[in-house]
Chains A and B, each alone.
Chain A
Amino acid sequence: MSQARNASPAPPGAGADERWEREVRAPFVAQAPERRDPFTTQALKWPIKALYTPADLEACGFDYATDLGYPGEYPFTRGTQPNGHRSSLWTMSQVTGFGKGEDWARRARYMLAQGLQGLILEHDLPTTNGYDSDHPLVEGEVGRAGLAIDSLEDLVRAFDLPFEKLRYLMSVCNAPQPVNLAMIIAALEARGVDPRGFVVHIVNGILIEYTCVGRYIFPPAHGLRIATDCLEYIIRHHPNWAPISIISAQLQPAKANPVQELAFSMAIALAYLDATLARGLDIDTVAPYFHFVINVDMDFFEGICKLRAYRKVWARLMRERYGATRPQALRIRMMTSPTTVALTLQQPLNNIGRLAIMATACALGGAGEAMTTPLHDEAHALPAEEAIRVGAALQHIVAHETGVADTIDPLAGSYYVESLTKGIEEAAMAEIGRIEAMGGALAAIQSGYFQQALGREQYERNKDIEEGRRKWVGVNHLVVPGEKRQIEIFRADNRVEEEQVARLKELRARRDPAAVARGLARVREAAAGTDNLVPACLDAVRALATHGEICDAMRAVFGVHTPDSQLTGV
C-alpha cells in the first residue's frame, strides 16, 4: 500500500484482518480453545466475531452521514437532542401503585421526597380488566398488583399529592383507557390542579396487550378504535399531555428479541398512526405525540445498539412512509428501563449490580426522556421502601459518578457497535415490511402471528438456560444451594378489598341513579356510533358511575375478546 507522506495511512482492509486471523489469532486459539462455541448475542443469537474492524463497516455499507448524522438531526441515531444529556439529565422515575388511594398517595410522597420527579400509576388487575372491586371474579386481587380505582372518588383520594414537585404522571390502564382518562381529568379538576402545569401520560397501549400480557377486554378492532378516541381527544383538548405509549418493554419479557421488539412495536405504532390520521389529523401534528418505553436486557451491546436503531427506524418510517417534515415528528420520544426479567430470585443482591449495568447501557444508548428503574427484589414481590431508595440512588450514580452522560453517544464509531446497530435496523425494517404486507399489526394480531413468534422464542430461550448454553449467575452458574432470602418483602394490605367493597356500597346508595343511567346510556350510544367515547365517559364518571359499570356498558356494545390462541405459540 503506498501512502502519501502527509496523508494519514488508509485503515487496514479485509486483507490485513485475514492475515491477523491466520497468523496470530488462529494459532493462539489452537492452544487456548474458546470458552463458548459459538459466541452469540443473548437474544438475537447472532454470531459475535472475535474482532470487528473497519472492514466490517465497509462490508455493511456504513456511512457516517447517512447512518449516523449529528445529534438532533435526521436520522437521529446519535440522539434526538442536540446536546445529549449535557444540558439536562433524563427524568428519573420508578414504578409504584398498590392498595387504596390513600396508601398510594403516601408512598408517592415518599418517592418524591427521595428525589424522584415522575410517578407511574399502575392499576390493580380488576381495574385494568374493567371490573369493580366487588365483582365475583376478582376476589383476592383487589389492590394487589396496583391501585384499585372503582370510582372518581378513589382517584381524587389518590391525588392528594404535592403537584408542584411532580413533572410527570403516567397512568397504566390500557383496556378501559377512556374511563381512566375521564377519571384523571375529573380528579384533577376536583383537586384544583392546572392540567397545563405538568404532563399526564396515558399508556393507552391496547394493541400490545393482545400480543403479550393480555390485559384486554374488547375485540382488537374495537380496542384500536377506543385507543384512537383517547389519542384524538388529548391531541385536541390537552395538547401538552402524552396520549400514548408503545410499551415495547412488554414485548421483551415475552422474549421478543431486539429485532422483533423493534419491528412489532413499530408496526403497532403504524396502526395507531394510520387510525389517528384517518380522523383528519396530519402526520406532523400526530407523530410528535408518540412515545416508546424500551427496556434493555443484560446483553450490553444488544441493548445499546437497539436503542440507537430505534431512533433511526422511527425517523426513516416517518419520513419515508408519511413524508413527515417537522423535526418533532421525526424525533422518536422514548423512556428507557432495565428489564425486570434479567433479575433473579436467587442471590437478590446481585440484582443491584445488574441494574447498574443495564442503567449504564441505557445511558450509553441514549436514555431518552426518562429512565425507570425496577427494584432489586422485583423478581419476587412488590417493592419495599428500602429498595426504592437504592433504585433512586442508582440512577444518580450513573448520571453523576461515571461520566457516561457527559459526552453524546460516546460509543459511535465502534466497529462492533455500528455493525450491530445497522444489522438490527435492517432486519427490523425487513420485518416491518413483512407485517405491513400481511395487512399490518391489527391483521398480525388477529391471525396470531405475533403471539406465535413469541411463543417459539419463549420455549427456545428457556431451553438455552436449562441446557446451560446461556450462563445465568445464581440460576445455573455459581448456584448457592439452599440459600435463604433476606430481602424485605412487601405485603399488600388484605383489608383493601373489604374497604373498597364497603365504599362501593355506600357510593351506590348515595349517588343519583338517574344521572348514572343517563351517563351510561351516553356511553353505549357513543360506543355504538362514531362519537368519541371520552366525553361520554366524562359524563358517566362525574355522575359517579363506577369503573366496572362503564366498562360493562361498552361490553354490551363491543362484545368481549376471546382470541384464537391464548397460549402463545400454540
Chain B
Amino acid sequence: MDLAAAVLAGQVAAGARLIRWLDDGDPRGRAALREIYPATGRAHIVGITGPPGAGKSTLVDILIAQERARGRRVAVLAVDPSSPFTGGAILGDRLRMSRHAVDPGVFIRSLGTRGGRGGLSRATYDATAVMDAMGYERIFVETVGVGQEEMDVTALAHSTVIVAVPGLGDEVQAMKAGLLEAGEILVLNKADRDGHAQTLRHLELLVHLRTGTQAADAWHTPLLSAVASRGEGAAAIVAALDAHREHLHRCGEFSLQSGRRSEQQFLAIAGARLRERLLELAPELRAQVRTQQLDPYTAAERLVAALPGPDP
C-alpha cells in the first residue's frame, strides 16, 4: 500500500512519516499531500493557546479523555519554540498526555516552530491536513501564547480556546482585548488557586463587554472554569466545542473557514515562490534600488507592469 493510501486508511506510522516529510520539506511529502488533500476539510480544528504555565497540555490531556469517552478519535499537534540560534528544540508537551500514549484512537505529534512565526510551525497547516485526511474528528493544536501573534492559531483553527490562570491579573491585561476577541471559548484553569475569584470577575467583564457589541445570533463566548490537574471542567469544554462546531455548520462558516485556511496557505506559499522568482527576473531593477538610483515604489511598479495581466 503506498503512503497516501495508508494515510487515508488512518495508519499512524504512515501519517507520522508524511508529517515528517512535510516538516522537513522532503519533495516526497508534497506528492503524497496532493493525493490526500481532497479528503481534508472534515475535521474540527481546535486551537488551544494561552500564556506559559496556564496548564494547556494538562487541559488537552483531560479533553482527550472526554472525547475518547464519547467514542471519538482525536489528534493533537503540540507546537513548541525552536531555538532561533541552533534550530534545536525540546518538545515536552506530550508528557502531560502520556496516559493516552497507547490508545490507538489518539495520535499526538510534537512540532518545533522551526523558524515559523506566531507560535506555529510552517508545517502545522500541513500536519493538520494529514490528520484531517486520516479521519480524526477533532484536532487540537496547542501552541505557546506569545502575545499578539496568537492570531496565527486563530486563523488555522475553527475554534480557539484561550486558557487563562488566576493571579495573572497583569498578564490577562497583557493578553489584550484583541486576543480575547479572537477566542471562542475562554477557560480559567487552575480554578482552585488563590486569586481565582478575582480573575474570573475580570474575565467576565471582558466577555460581557464583548457580548454587548454582538448580534443576537452571533456566537457568545462562554467563560468556563477548570482544574485540569483534577480532571474537572473537561465535559463542559467539550460540550462548548460541540456547540461551536454546530454553530459554525449552521451558519455555513465551517467550510468557509476551512476554505479560507487553505487559501491563506496558498497565498503564503505562492507569495514566497513568486518572491524568489521575481528577484531572479529583475537583477537590474534590484541593483538600481540598492544603489538608490531608483526608489522602491517605482521599481515595484515597473516590475509588475512587465508581468502578463490577469486571465481574460
- The CA of A561 and the CA of B231, in the complex, are separated in Å by 11
Question: Could you say which of B6-14, B24-32, B53-61, B284-292 contacts chain A?
Answer: B53-61
Chain B CB within 10 Å — which of A562, A565, A567 has the most? A562
Main secondary structure of the interface of A (DSSP, over half): loop
* Interface residue? A448 (CB, 8 A): yes
- The CA of A448 and the CA of B53, in the complex, are separated in Å by 8
- Provide the B92-114 mask, 1 if CB < 8 A to any CB of A, else 0: 10011000000000000000000
Contact of B229 with A219 in the complex, beta carbons under 8 Å: yes
- Provide the A528-569 mask, 1 if CB < 8 A to any CB of B, else 0: 000000000000000000000000000000010110111100
Contact of A564 with B53 in the complex, beta carbons under 8 Å: yes
* Interface residue? A447 (CB, 8 A): yes
> Closest chain A residue to B228 by CB distance?
A562
> Closest chain A residue to B230 by CB distance?
A559
- The CA of A567 and the CA of B193, in the complex, are separated in Å by 23
* Interface residue? A570 (CB, 8 A): yes
Report the minimal beta-carbon distance from B206 to chain A, rounded to whole angstroms.
24
- Provide the B227-243 mask, 1 if CB < 8 A to any CB of A, else 0: 00111000000000000
Contact of A447 with B58 in the complex, beta carbons under 8 Å: no
* Interface residue? B270 (CB, 8 A): no
- The CA of A431 and the CA of B231, in the complex, are separated in Å by 35
Q: Which residues of A contact B229 (CB under 8 A)?
A: 219, 559, 561-562
Q: Which residues of B contact A439 (CB under 8 A)?
A: 194
Contact of A564 with B55 in the complex, beta carbons under 8 Å: yes
Contact of A562 with B92 in the complex, beta carbons under 8 Å: no
Contacting residue for A570 out of B55, B61, B92, B96, CB 8 A: B92
Contact of B90 with A562 in the complex, beta carbons under 8 Å: no
Contact of A565 with B92 in the complex, beta carbons under 8 Å: yes
With A567-B92, A570-B90, A570-B92 known as contacts, the answer to whether A562 contacts B53 (CB < 8 A) is no
Report the minimal beta-carbon distance from A566 to chain B, rounded to whole angstroms.
6
Contact of A447 with B53 in the complex, beta carbons under 8 Å: yes
- The CA of A330 and the CA of B138, in the complex, are separated in Å by 59
Report the minimal beta-carbon distance from B65 to chain A, rounded to whole angstroms.
13
Contact of A562 with B230 in the complex, beta carbons under 8 Å: no
- The CA of A219 and the CA of B58, in the complex, are separated in Å by 13
Q: Which residues of A contact B95 (CB under 8 A)?
A: 562, 566-567
- The CA of A564 and the CA of B56, in the complex, are separated in Å by 9
Q: Identify which of residues 430-462 in chain A touch chain B, using a CB-to-CB cut-off of 8 Å.
A: 439, 446-448
- The CA of A446 and the CA of B167, in the complex, are separated in Å by 12
> Closest chain B residue to A218 by CB distance?
B229
Contacting residue for B96 out of A219, A221, A562, CB 8 A: A562
Contacting residue for B231 out of A221, A446, A559, A567, CB 8 A: A559
Q: Which residues of A contact B192 (CB under 8 A)?
A: 221
Known: A564-B53, A567-B92. 18 other contacts (CB 8 A): A219-B229, A221-B192, A446-B193, A447-B53, A448-B53, A559-B230, A559-B231, A561-B229, A562-B61, A562-B95, A562-B96, A562-B229, A564-B55, A564-B58, A566-B92, A567-B90, A570-B90, A570-B92
Chain B residues proximal to chain A, CB less than 8 Å: 53, 55, 57-58, 61, 90, 92, 95-96, 192-194, 229-231
20 residue pairs from A and B, CB less than 8 Å apart: A219-B229, A219-B230, A221-B192, A439-B194, A446-B193, A447-B53, A559-B231, A561-B229, A562-B58, A562-B61, A562-B95, A564-B53, A564-B55, A564-B58, A564-B96, A566-B92, A567-B90, A567-B92, A570-B90, A570-B92
